[in-house]
Structure formats: structure tokens, C-alpha cells
Structure 1
Amino acid sequence: MTDLPRPDNENLTRDEAAARARVVRTHDYAIDLDFSAAADPQTDTFPVRTRLTFDAEKGASTFLDYLGARVDAVTLNGVPQDVAAIVDGARIVLSPLAANNVVEIVSVSIYSRSGEGVHRFVDPADGATYLYSQNEPVDCRRIYPCFDQPDLKARFRVTITADASWHVAANGALESERSAGPQTSTRVFAETEPMSTYITTFLAGPYALWHDEYAGRTASGVESVIPLGIAVRASLAPSMDADEVFEITKQGLDWFHRSFDVAYPWGKYDQVFVPEYNLGAMENPGLVTFTEHYVFTSPATEAQHEQRANTILHEMCHMWFGDLVTMRWWDDLWLKESFADYVGTLATAEATRFTTAWTTFASRRKAWAYRQDQFPTTHPIVADIIDLEAADQNFDGITYAKGASVLKQLSAFVGQDAFLAAARTYFARHAWGNTTLDDFLQALEEASGHDMQWWADAWLTTAGVNRLRVATTVDGDAIASAVLHQDGVDPRTGQTVLRPHVLRIGVYDPDEDPAAFETALDVRIDGSEVAIPELVGTPANRILLPNDGDLTYAKIMPDPHSLAVMLDAGLDDELARATALAGAWNLVRDGELPAARFVDGAVANQHLLEDSGVLAQVLQQAGAGLAAYTTADERPRLLARWIALLVDEIAEDAEPSDRRTVLLRTLFAALGEVRSPAEPVLDVVRSWMDDPAFALGEELTWDAWVALAAHGEADAGALRAAQSAAPTAVSAVGLIRALAARPDAAVKDAARAAAYAGRSADGAVLSNDELQATIDGLGIDPHDVGGGHDADYWQRIDHVWTAQSQGQATRVVSGLFPGHAELADGDAERHPLVVAAQGWLDARPDAPHALRRIVIERLDDLRRRLRAQAASA
């Protein structure tokens, strides 16, 4: 693989993009990609020919973005250019421009192993080569020269030359195919509608295919017939449940046609599941890409099926909100992602069998948002994205999950009908164009009659999480007064932030087991407090759940009596349980509830939790709390008790089930934290692996191998033999993780060196999945044999940032951060690891903003760990 340092001018700024957009008006691209040598492991590049037409201010200058191996020729308006003079790092300078321009470029681009640009993967199962592309936010420039910013839309006509036996695809439908030589052909694809560069996509390889067709109509009666396709690696074809994916797709298209009243505008609807994907999915119109983790080769829980359905509908929502109408710049990235996160969950709940999708959202998705929003680096939902590095970092819990939570609150505020009516107006008014937040707010004002600027100022331009609690006074056995209180602080400024909330207070009877729902009280709070007169005179022992139904975005602070019942007896509604336990976990992270107390609540609630996604989230939080938020002297005892409980619970589930799968995953993770598991536990794990009736599947089997390896119970020979017996993508990554988990200082040193270099010991470039597996295995270190390298980290991360792509460097800087601190060595301000991290930040004020952000966030995690340990002590 070709090594190229990151150019100094790779990081396009918002001001540069805006200046370019004032000069340039794009029309169309013709892109010719040659993948004919892709299967040759000695060939790490591919030829590209690009023809671009655009209008410009006469006499002006502009530049194209390109991160390829080299540029061989450039012709501007028929005039050959001096390549050496106009290629400047990540840019190709074009000057002087005419009013109407044609630029033609011959170049060579690089196959990716990081999931950025055209990614090349060789299947360990059969040696077949697969290609796919991933471009958001700005990796299109790794494939072909372009104006790589969202507001310079164009039509695209693509030609791909590749192995004639391969499946080859792009955004447009296949128009024709012609021979290009022995065993090679050239495919020509239909010109697309106007779209942004970041959603162009290309696919090539011996993919297995399925076909179907959707026929439906919009709310106003416009008929729509859409060819449907699914593609996956040939070796995964037996595991592809195409019927379910097609069913979800058709249900989604029906829902969106009915709700948006705009026919799907992109022709065909192909969905492809690809290896080593660095995202969950991507909304490329006509050719949506998904991680192949959604092709279940092991027993999959109903929650995993729900998550896949939610992702399918999230990406489908983007066909309208994001692709048809697109943000002008990445400041408004949140709007398309938050909208798709909210509406995708809404569509999942209303159109598919997964009617409890909001329960999973409350438990899992919002946990991501709450964590991100309490970092010192938090930002308003409408973020200030000054450059591309900032854009890349902002695919975060605020942009997705907080934004979606706030849009759910908005829907409660204005009504769902008004919300969807605003969307229909927005699509009709801005189809094929680019917009800002103000355009959507205007449509909302028209649909709802509300002043949306006031609402937007409160919710979208401030940062941080509000807290909600109900304070009561008691007269005898009855409530004498009840007040809902709100507080909140912006972590960036320390300033108080109060927001308008439309929510419900759930009232539950504690005399039932679990506590039985009685009623929900509708409440609106705009300031710091509001009275709840409906509670006056009701029994004082009633359980009160702020934000019942999870309508708003806030941390809840149950009163001590209510919290105790929520943890010990539980509530009799699944969404209420998820909301209550999410609130309790926030208390643990804030150092206000000991981790062991939360674990007791997780154990008490586990048999009530019907949703396997919520069960998995709560048990994962319990395990993480024991591993990080308890003190070093009490942790071994607590973890041993936790592992014993999990083993007993697994033994009670004689047959495979979602619950058993969740318990097994939790156990194998816990075994990576405890120094000396009880002797029989590892023997029991090995017996499960050897028992065909136990049906672990390959993913759980490799989780088990990792747990055994971490305790020296599986050597390199055994691990390699297991992988050779079943060579798949899952086993290849599992092997890397297991080898790095072994309790040997030399093993840990080798894994660390590989991560810093981005290469294995034999010099091969690590793919994104291989790098992550190396880091994950290195981090599994229950015997503490991999320490002593903290100072080295601070000497190396600057080089990592410049030597590896931003995606790969982020994995290394975040994953190797020295964060396993113990309270006995110092508190949240004086611990040596805290002092070292703060010292680096103080000494490097001019370090790249995105790099500093990672360090600041990991430092905040470190301080939170120590504060929670203090609370636990």
C-alpha cells in the first residue's frame, strides 16, 4: 500500500469552501474508473479519468480537491496544463477560468485499507477481492478530483472497467456493458440527478445478488415502481436473510411515500452489505451501503434485527432529507442526521414489527448523547464547523442522538402532524437544492403557527444536558405540594441553561411488584420550576418518574424513595424501565450513585427487561461500572460476584435465546476485566465452546477465545488453528484481538508498536477493522502486563496524527489513551495520568483542533472515572 503523508492543505476550511462556491457553479462529472487490476495484490492503485464542466467568474481562479497517488495530465478548456505547477498537495489549481469551463484530468488513485475512499478487501474465506467506496464527509477526493463540498451539486455519469464476472454498480442504473479485453468489461451507468460528491459511490466484486421490486404510491396518488437489489460477499450469502431486508425496505418506502408525499426520486434502490465498513451505513442514493455486521452469521437477538431495520429506515429517510435536499455546509450536518435518526426510529415503530423502537432509543441511543453532551468539548446541536477536521469529528452523539431526541421533543411541542407537514413543504420548496436551518424553521413555523426561532435558540444554540426532578412536601400520608425543578449548565461556559420542555410525570403504585402504572401527568416547564397541582392530595408513597414516555432530552433525578423502588422492584412498563435505568446510569457517571448499587438494580430488573437491546445496554453499563467506577480494593470481589451471577443465569437458560446471547456477551467482556476468575469459570467457557448443542456461533466463539487468551488459557497455536479451521472475516479479526489479549509483555509491546505504525509486524497495512482489533486486544489486560508506556504515548500522538488518515489516527489516539487510573494513586486533579494529559494540552495549544478534542474527551473520562471511584468508596 502506498504511503503518502497528509498534505498541509488537506483540511479545507468553511471560508475556503464558501469562497469557492461564490466563484463556481458545477454542472456535471464524467468519471471513468479502472478496477481491472484490483485482484492483483501487487497493485495498490487504479487509473481514473475525470471530466468536469462548470461555470465560473471569468478570469477567476479556483481549485479541485484530490488525494490520489499522482496526477498525470490536466487540460483546462482544451489547454494542457503544467501539472507540476498546478498540483499543490491536496489541491489542483485551475486558472484563469472562463465563463464556461471543461477540465479533464488523468490521474491515479489509491486503494484504501481504512474504509476511506475505495476500500479493497480480500475475503479470507475464498480469496475473492471486493471493492466499495465510502466518502462522507470528504473522502470522495481520494477517488477522483472534485469540488468536494456539499453545496456544489452536479450530475454524475460513471464508467467502470473491471473483471467481467464481477458485479459492478454505481448510483445510477446500469445502461450498457462492452468488452474491454480478456475477462474484462466496461460498464456504463445512467446519469444521476443533481447530488453532492460525498454521496457518490462505486462497487465491484463477485457479490452475491438478490432482486425484488416495490410498487406503491404517494399520499397524493403518484405511483412508484422501484427495482430493489441486495448484494453481499459470496461467502456470506447463506447468512443473508434477504426476505426480511426486502420486507423492511418495502414497509419503509410505503411509510415515507405516505408521510413525505414525494415519490422516491433516485430510480433503483440497491442495498449492499460490505466488509470492514467504518460506519453503520451510508445513504448513497440508489446504492446504500451497510456494515456487513448486519448479515448475521451468529445467533442474532431481536434487538439486532431491530437495529438493522432502524438503520435501513434511517438511510432511507436520507433519500429525501440529506440527498434530495442537502445542507449547504457541515454546520447543518446535524439536521440531516438528527432528522433521519428521529424519523427513522418513528418509521421503525410505526411501519415494522419493531413497535418498541423508542424503548431501545431511550436506553441506548440517548446514552451516547448524554455522554457526549457532558464533555468539555460539547457543542450546540448547530455546531460551528470551521473546517473538514471538525466536520469529521462531529459525527457524534450530539449530531445524531441528541439532535434526534430534541426533534422528538419538537414533535411533542408542535405535534407530529405539523412536523411531517413541515417536512413535506421543505422537500417541495428545496428539492435538488442546498439549505440551512432557517429554511427548515420557516417550514415549521408555517405548519405549526409557533415562533420557531425562540425554540431553536433555546435548544439548538446552547450545549449541555438539563436535569429534571420533582420535589414534594408531605402532610401525613399525602403529598402537600409538588414542584418540577429544572437546572442545567453549559460545560463549555459554566453558564446556566434552561430550556422549554413538554413532558409527562409518570405516577406508579409501589405496593405492586413491579410498581404498577397509575397515570401520567402532562407538564410544561419553561424556567427553573413549575408546580404540579395534580399531585397534591395523592398518596405520598407514589413513585414519580420524570419524563415518563421519554418525550424530552434531560437527565432525570428521581427522589430517593422512587429511585430505590425503580432499582429494587422495577416498573411495570418497558419504556419506563428503560428511562428509569438510563437515569440511574447517569447518576453513576456523575458520581451520585455507587456503581455497585446500579449493578444491584440491573440484577433485580434483568428478568423484567423484555427488550434484548435494553437488557444488553443495562448489563453492559453494569459491567463497565464495576470495571471503571469501583475502587481497586473492592473491584475483584464485585467482579467475581458479577461473573458468578452471569454463569448461574446462563446455566438456567438451557435453550438458545436472546437473553442467553446477551448474558454470554456480558460474561465474556467481564472475564477480560477480572485478574483471577474462579478456576471453574474458564473450564465452563471451554465446555460451551466444545458443545455443538450450545450453538455459540462464530462471534461468541471468538469472544470466548479472547477471554481464554487474556488469561493464558489459549496460546497462539490454538488460536491460529481455530481461525484456519473457519477462515472468515469474523475469525480473522477475532484472531488479531485474541493474540493481542494474551498476558505477555512482549505481545503487548508488539501490538502497541503495530497500532502506532498502522502496520502489522510483517509490514502489511492494517485495515480499519484490523487496527481496531489490535487496539481492543491490547486493552484487554486483566493481569496488568502491558503498562509502563504512558510517557511514550505523549511523545507519539503528534506523529500518528500526521502519518495516518484522520479516521485511523482517531482510533489510535483514543484507543491507546492512558486512562486506567486508580483512586489510590491520586484524585481527579492530582492523579499522575491526569497531570500528564493536562500537561500535554497546556503545552500544545496549537495542536490540531480535532486531536486536542480527543485528548480533552479522554481526559474528562479519566476524571469522571476517579470521581465515580470516590463516590463508590
Structure 2
Amino acid sequence: MTSSNLTRDETAVRSQRIRLDAVEIDLDLRDAPDPAAPTFPTTATLTFTATGEETWLDFLGEAVDSVTVNGASRDVEWDGARIRIGGLTWHNVVTIRARGRYSSSGEGLHRFRDPVDDAVYLYTQYEPADSRRVYPVFEQPDMKARWRFTVSAPAGWHILSNGPEVAREDVAGGVRVRFAETLPLSSYITAVAAGPYHRVDGEWRDADRTVPLGVLCRASLARHLDADEILDITRRGLEFFERAFAYPYPWGKYDQIFVPEYNLGAMENPGLVTFTESYVFRGASTAAQHEGRANTILHEMAHMWFGDLVTMRWWDDLWLKESFADFMGAHAAVAAGGFPDAWVTFASRRKGWAYVQDQLPTTHPIVADIPDLEAAKLNFDGITYAKGASVLKQLVAFVGEEAFFRGAQRYFADHAFGNTTLPDLLSALEAESGRDLTAWSRAWLQTSGLSEIAVERDGVHPPVLTQTDPRPHRLTCGLFAIDDGRLERQGGLDVDAVDERTPLPGTIGDGIELVLPNVDDRTYAKVRLDAGSTDAAATHLSTVADPVARAVIWASLWNATRDGELAVTRLVGIVSRHGVHESNIALLTDALSHAHVAIGRYAAADARASLATAWLDTCWNALWDAEPGSDAQLAWARALAAAAARSAGRAEQIRAILARTAPAPDGLPLDPELRWAWLIALAATGYATAEDADAELAADPTAQGHVAHRTALAARPDAAVRAAAWHAAWEDEGLTNDHLAATIAGVRAGDRRDLIAVHDEDYFARIRPAWAARSIEIARRLVIGLFPASDSLDDVDSWLDGNPDAPAALRRLVIEQRDGLARELRVRAAQPTAL
């Protein structure tokens, strides 16, 4: 345990002894454009009451210059993470003058230089505990304060924080901006951004007030920013959530800024929401991409209430904000956002994430045991987000939608600007619904794992719903018959299942070809189709009219493949047959991804090459047959890029299209994103050179172009090239987070184990030192991204056996990677050996 890894117990003691009132932050960022200036002055003044004589403040920076307590200068006692503060009285004013360090990992205050125009951009990202990289703080969510920010930066920059700007003055080398005092906030959702951002203004009016809106991105991306659509979603969301939660949006303005080299999808900082600039679409984009962005906008907006207005006390109740925001993102996208198929995407993508996470040996209850910050960092996972949201979907059905929202309204009214735990929410929902939620909470929030549900119908009268790891499920088994070559639903059987075996309340006629448990995706469970239903799906899946039902079928087939119950060859055949007819672009995109992953991870070794070649041809033919300019055409073009990195069968044709010596399919937008994807694939198979990559970069000298260029160079199928990239990933600490990810992608390109297996031993020698020396974000990328996909568990087992005292968070990552490898080996062994 290091002093930077705060524990739940010690922070609980601190918050009992300290009552924080206000924090004033003064940042001087005027030297940010100078690459020779690695640090910035930062001053924090904290006002609080105390019941003891000493405490500590958290700071991960370059230096602490001075400490003043109640007007008296004190010696600096700082161990690199904690600043000891002594001589406290009942009422205290503590001022710390320090120097923070600009980040290149996306943690703290990130500094980015745009290669297009050499402009410098800054933004902060803190969750769960990185505000202490920028200013000295009490870094825990239950110590809220009113914050007052002052920021000095170069003239001509946009300078933003949570509150609106209230004063500005010219100073030497720039401007000094003061922001309005915030309502009580936890440190991890404070925020600052500064730079020559492009800004589009808007507003949202309700009956009583006007909320200023802003949408910002880098200047070089301005022509790609579809701000009108973003503002429209924002207005719809604010209107919906204010009405649903019966609590006015409390944070004044609503700026949304799209930032480079971002580690997350988005972060809900009140008044200054940050998003990955991947949501600024540089080229062609599908309806699913727009839906995904809208969902994220609404997810972050839900946090303005769930998480920001009312905040969990400690990270074990992270679900109190993330599960709710994940649920609300989909719910609001359907109810108000103009995306009626958002629950289809949720059923396929978000639940798929949760199912994978929940089958790992490191799975945990939705209400998790989080003893320290390192554990918290890794708990932003499929359980906390997607499983929690899935369970909330059930809860809404259980208590009723009206009662659920009345309960939420009571929760916000009772706990506004405070911190809560699970019982606070349950009591509000129980009060409004009249239902006792004790058993529900115990079954769904306080247990881990998932049920596998199936229907036994052959030789069983009545048919029986079975489930492993029994939990209470209320679901419908959809019954489908073939009518004129189509699978048509013929009704369903509703069932409340609690035990391992539950007789279905009805019969299944002889003409029923497909029985689909959880047909409307109401419950959270892995669905296993019986043999007859699998055959019917294999033949007729794309004829099922309901996209939610198709999502459940696609998910069932994928889970069966991951479990070794469905041959990879059969899954790929189903995707090849029905993908060309799948009308929901999110389902198509997921199916194409699953086929690609299945070939690389689960196919038998001696069948993989022929299967990869056949899949490449499927993608190629589907691309040319797709409707010109359609989302499906773009999805198949992207799938072709992934397939072409493994198999060179279409390399010359792809190269000719890129060189414009052969025509592209009609309507296909050969934009920079697609060109790079195809070029990286060619590089991985030896059909693109460094000169080709350089030429592409000359045509696209953007930040995204530089990242892709790095991957293309590292992807070339030469052992020396891959070795150089391997060493750069571990040893070049100048790599930004995005450049590290690009380097890792190049190392792993084309699944060329023959080029990188030599580094397996080096991996296990490096991961523990890297965990100790690098930030968690960078170390996590290295540990996961470079884990050896070997044909044996011996090396990883040896490391785990030999490192029982390694940090728990590092061991968790390695255990999860081991489980994935064990699954791959187990499933491969069960595969047919011929295509």
C-alpha cells in the first residue's frame, strides 16, 4: 500500500473529523504553449472545520512550495502524495502553493499539441481521484465544497470551468479569469479546460429561466462539428430530465467540450461535460454512431442529478450514479432523444459487455466491495454500468415506471447536494411504490454472476424453463413459427421463475420452430437456445421482424460460441448469411465484430487461416453488394479492414482502390478514417510500406492521422519492427496515451504471434515494475494490451503463483486476462478442425 492509494476506512475517518466548506483554486497556465514548461503553478485555499489537530491533503504533483495554516507558515511535510497539515483549530483556512505537472496520459490536466496548427489544448479528467494531480484537495467524494476557480491562460483562449465566467482582466502574458462559485461539488467532478477551442453557442429556455449552452472542439475539427444535432439532443434531454426528476437543472450553464486523447467516452463535470472527440465524426458515420453519441450525451446529463446533485459516499456505491445513468441514457434516447431503437443497441452492446464481465472470476456484486482507490479505478466496468442498468430496467418494471420516477424525485429532494448509500435510494423507492425491496436488492444488487436460462421442450410435458445460478426472473418466452419462409411470432408464455426448474404456463405447439426465452430482453440472463431453435435461427434469423428479439438471438449465438457450444464455423456462416439482411446497423456492427473475434480467438488453429480467408471474401462481396452510401456498406467496409489484417487475399484490390487505380464501390466514402483502416490492414500483411504510410500522413496530417501512422508503421510484419514497437511501448515514457494505444495496436496487428511470442517472458518481467512506476491508466493499457495470447497458461500461472503480494488491482487484471486465454484454449480444443 502506497500513500497515494487512499483507503475507504481512512477517508471515512477523515470526513468524520473534517467539515469542508469552500475551496479556492488559482491556476496559472500561461506557459502551457511552451513545450519546455512541464509544470504549472497551482494554489489551493481550503476553508473547513476540524475536530482534531492534524489531517492531510492529497496532491500528486511536481512540488509543494509552501503551506500556510490559519495565517502561519508551516514546514512542508509532503511524501509525494500526502501533505501533512498540523496545528488545526476548530475553524481553519489552509493555503497550499504548489506546482502541478502537465499530463500526457489523460489523467489530471492533459496537454495536447495539435499537429495541424501547433495549437495547444488543455482539459482536466479526474474520476476517480486525479484532481489531486492538479491542486491539493481532500480527494474523496463525500467531502463536498463550494468551489471558486481563477485561471490565468494565454490571451485569445477559451477558458472554462464548472461555473460561468464572472470577471476577466489582462495580465502579463495573457488573461486572468474568475468563475462563479459553484454549489457543493465533490473534487472529482470539478473541471477546467483552456485553449483556442472552436465554440458554438446555444440556449435552452424553460418557463422560468434560460440555460446557456456551448459546444466546443479543437479549431482544426470545427468543420466536422455537427453542433446543431448536439444542441438539439441537449435541449430534449434537459426538458425530459427536469420533468422526470421534478428538480430544476442546478448547475447554471451547460457546456459540452470534445477533447483529444481522452481515455473515456465522456465525463459528467457539472457545467462542463467532457467527451472524446471520437464523437466528432471526421468522415462517414452510421445511424448507430449518432445514436451512441446521443446516448452518451443523455447518460452524462442524467449524472447532473444521479451523481452530481446526489453523490455516493464512497466508490462501492459507484452504481448509484453509473447504473442509473446507463439506464437513463437508453430510456431518454427512446423517450425524448429521437432514437426509438436505443434499447435494441442496449440489448446487444451494453448487455454483451456485462455478460462477458460477469463470467470472469473477478466479477463482483453491483454494490461492490471497494477498499481503496486502485480497486475503484478498475470498477468502472460492465457490472457497474451495464449489468446495473439491466437490473434497473427490471426494477422499473417491478415497482412501476411512475413509482420509480416518484422515488427518484423523493431521493433528489431529500439528499440534494449530499452523499448517499444504497439504503437511501431503496427507502425512497419503497416509500413511493409500497414494495419491499429487501429481497430484490439481495438477489440482484448484492450477488454476482448471471443465470443461464433455457427451455426444455422435447419429451417434457409441460415444457420447463431452466436456469443456473437461480434468481427471480419475470420474463416471456417468445414462440415463433415459420410462415411463408419467415419466422413469425405466435405469442408467448409469461413466467415468473425463481427455482432451477419452472414449468411454463402453457404448451408449445408442434409448429413452433423457435422458442426464445427473454424475447423482449426484460431480464438479465444468458439465453441458451435449444437445438431446434438454433437451427431455426441459423436458417431464418434475419426474417424475425422485432429487432429486440433479433438482438436476443444474436446475443445467444455469440454467447454459445464463447462457451464452446456453437462452432465458430457455424457462427461465421450465420453472420455471413444473415448479416447482409440485418437492417439494424448496431446489430450488424456487433455481429461483424463477433465473427472477427471468433475467428481470431476461438477457431481451431488448423482451421483459422481458411476460415479467415473465407470471411475476408464474405466481407468483400457484401461490401460490393451493399446499397451504395448505406450504413451497411460502411459497416462491411470497416469489417473488411479488420479481416484484411489477417488475410492478404484481397490486398492487391484494396491497394488499388486506395491508389485510385481501381474504382471503389459506388457510394462508399473513402474518407481518411477508412483509408487508414485499410492501409493498416495492408501494412499488417506486408502490402503497405513505411513510404505508403508517410504518403497517407502527408494527405492527412491531423492528430488522428499521426496516431494511425504510428500503428501502420508498427504493424509491418517484420520481427525487428515489432520488437522496436514492443520496446517503445514499455520504455518510451514520452508516448501519450493515444500514441501508446496506437503502438500496442501495431504490435498486435494481424494476430501475428510468430512475430511477438519471443517477448512473452519479457512481458511478465515488466508488468510489476510498470505498475509501480507508471500511472494506472498507462499501466493498465500495457498489462491488457500486451498480454501474451499464447497456447499455454504456464507463464501466467507461474507469474500469479510467484507474485501473491502484487497490488490487488494488477493481479485482478492479470487474472482476467488469464481467464480470457483459458476460455480461448478451451473453446479452440472443442472446434471442428476443417472449414
In the superposition, the TM-score normalised over structure 2's length comes to: 0.97
Please state whether the residue corresponding to 1:370 is helix, strand or coil: helix
2:702 alignment partner in structure 1:
728
2:736 alignment partner in structure 1:
767
Deviations 1:265-296 (A, max 9, x none): 00000100000000000000000000000000
1:208 alignment partner in structure 2:
198
| Deviation of the 1:727 alpha carbon | 1.0
Question: Relative to structure 1, is the Cα distance of residues 387 and 136 closer, same or farther in structure 2, using a 3 angstrom cutoff?
Answer: same
1:101 alignment partner in structure 2:
92
2:406 alignment partner in structure 1:
421
Unaligned runs of 5+ in 1: 1-6, 218-222, 489-497, 760-764, 822-830
Q: Read off the aligned partner of 2:142 and give its amino acid letter.
A: D
Equivalent residue in structure 2 for 1:247, among 219, 232, 236: 232
Superposition pairs for residues 25-424 of structure 1, below 5 Å? 25-57=19-51, 59-83=52-76, 86-182=77-173, 184-216=174-206, 223-424=208-409
CA distance in 2, matches of 1:689, 1:416: 58
2:466 alignment partner in structure 1:
485
2:675 alignment partner in structure 1:
701
Unaligned runs of 5+ in 2: none
Question: Relative to structure 1, is the Cα distance of residues 370 and 321 closer, same or farther in structure 2, using a 3 angstrom cutoff?
Answer: same
CA distance in 2, matches of 1:609, 1:724: 38
Deviations 1:565-597 (A, max 9, x none): 112211221111111110111111111111111
CA distance in 2, matches of 1:567, 1:446: 48
Superposition pairs for residues 270-669 of structure 1, below 5 Å? 270-473=255-458, 480-488=461-469, 498-535=470-507, 538-570=509-541, 571-653=544-626, 655-669=628-642
Question: Relative to structure 1, is the Cα distance of residues 204 and 235 closer, same or farther in structure 2, using a 3 angstrom cutoff?
Answer: same
Please state whether the residue corresponding to 1:785 is helix, strand or coil: helix
CA distance in 1, matches of 2:98, 2:105: 21
8 Å CA contact 2:69–2:87 kept in 1: the answer is: no
Per mean C-alpha deviation after superposition, the further-off stretch among 521-530 and 839-848 is 521-530
CA distance in 2, matches of 1:224, 1:282: 25
1:871 alignment partner in structure 2:
830
| Deviation of the 1:685 alpha carbon | 5.0
CA distance in 2, matches of 1:777, 1:588: 27
| Deviation of the 1:664 alpha carbon | 1.1
| Deviation of the 1:810 alpha carbon | 0.3
8 Å CA contact 1:402–1:553 kept in 2: the answer is: yes
Please state whether the residue corresponding to 1:635 is helix, strand or coil: helix
Deviations 1:457-477 (A, max 9, x none): 111111111011111245xxx
Percent identity over the alignment? 48
Q: Read off the aligned partner of 1:724 and give its amino acid letter.
A: A
| Deviation of the 1:384 alpha carbon | 0.3
Please state whether the residue corresponding to 2:64 is helix, strand or coil: strand
Question: Relative to structure 1, is the Cα distance of residues 554 and 782 closer, same or farther in structure 2, using a 3 angstrom cutoff?
Answer: closer
| Deviation of the 1:298 alpha carbon | 1.1
Q: Read off the aligned partner of 1:159 and give its amino acid letter.
A: T
Please state whether the residue corresponding to 2:216 is helix, strand or coil: strand
Q: Read off the aligned partner of 2:679 and give its amino acid letter.
A: W
Q: Read off the aligned partner of 1:835 and give its amino acid letter.
A: D
8 Å CA contact 1:698–1:730 kept in 2: the answer is: no
| Deviation of the 1:204 alpha carbon | 0.4
CA distance in 1, matches of 2:758, 2:451: 40
Question: Relative to structure 1, is the Cα distance of residues 794 and 224 closer, same or farther in structure 2, using a 3 angstrom cutoff?
Answer: same
Question: Relative to structure 1, is the Cα distance of residues 608 and 695 closer, same or farther in structure 2, using a 3 angstrom cutoff?
Answer: closer
Q: Read off the aligned partner of 2:478 and give its amino acid letter.
A: G
Q: Read off the aligned partner of 2:817 and give its amino acid letter.
A: R
Pairing 1:795–2:754 present: no
8 Å CA contact 1:332–1:383 kept in 2: the answer is: yes
Pairing 1:747–2:747 present: no
Please state whether the residue corresponding to 2:417 is helix, strand or coil: coil
| Deviation of the 1:258 alpha carbon | 1.5
CA distance in 1, matches of 2:632, 2:724: 37
2:10 alignment partner in structure 1:
16
Q: Read off the aligned partner of 1:840 and give its amino acid letter.
A: W
Root mean square deviation of aligned Cα: 1.5
Q: Read off the aligned partner of 1:79 and give its amino acid letter.
A: A
CA distance in 2, matches of 1:313, 1:482: 42
Question: Relative to structure 1, is the Cα distance of residues 80 and 24 closer, same or farther in structure 2, using a 3 angstrom cutoff?
Answer: same
Q: Read off the aligned partner of 2:805 and give its amino acid letter.
A: D
Q: Read off the aligned partner of 2:607 and give its amino acid letter.
A: E
| Deviation of the 1:8 alpha carbon | 2.9
Please state whether the residue corresponding to 1:323 is helix, strand or coil: coil
1:828 alignment partner in structure 2:
none
Deviations 1:343-363 (A, max 9, x none): 111000111221000000111
8 Å CA contact 1:473–1:481 kept in 2: the answer is: no
8 Å CA contact 2:493–2:505 kept in 1: the answer is: no
Equivalent residue in structure 1 for 2:658, among 686, 689, 702: 686
CA distance in 2, matches of 1:726, 1:815: 26
| Deviation of the 1:871 alpha carbon | 2.0
Please state whether the residue corresponding to 1:866 is helix, strand or coil: helix
| Deviation of the 1:820 alpha carbon | 4.0
| Deviation of the 1:225 alpha carbon | 2.1
Deviations 1:20-41 (A, max 9, x none): 1111110001100011010001
Question: Relative to structure 1, is the Cα distance of residues 102 and 431 closer, same or farther in structure 2, using a 3 angstrom cutoff?
Answer: same
Pairing 1:671–2:664 present: no
8 Å CA contact 1:211–1:227 kept in 2: the answer is: yes
8 Å CA contact 2:651–2:687 kept in 1: the answer is: no
CA distance in 2, matches of 1:48, 1:480: 73
8 Å CA contact 1:819–1:859 kept in 2: the answer is: no
CA distance in 2, matches of 1:486, 1:105: 58
8 Å CA contact 1:517–1:573 kept in 2: the answer is: no
Q: Read off the aligned partner of 1:513 and give its amino acid letter.
A: G
Question: Relative to structure 1, is the Cα distance of residues 415 and 687 closer, same or farther in structure 2, using a 3 angstrom cutoff?
Answer: farther
Q: Read off the aligned partner of 2:193 and give its amino acid letter.
A: L
Q: Read off the aligned partner of 1:116 and give its amino acid letter.
A: E
Per mean C-alpha deviation after superposition, the further-off stretch among 772-781 and 677-686 is 677-686
Q: Read off the aligned partner of 1:191 and give its amino acid letter.
A: E
Q: Read off the aligned partner of 1:505 and give its amino acid letter.
A: C
8 Å CA contact 1:819–1:858 kept in 2: the answer is: no
CA distance in 1, matches of 2:43, 2:655: 59
CA distance in 2, matches of 1:483, 1:232: 55
Deviations 1:25-77 (A, max 9, x none): 100011000110100011111101111101110x4321000001000011011
1:4 alignment partner in structure 2:
none
CA distance in 2, matches of 1:614, 1:539: 30
8 Å CA contact 2:537–2:553 kept in 1: the answer is: yes
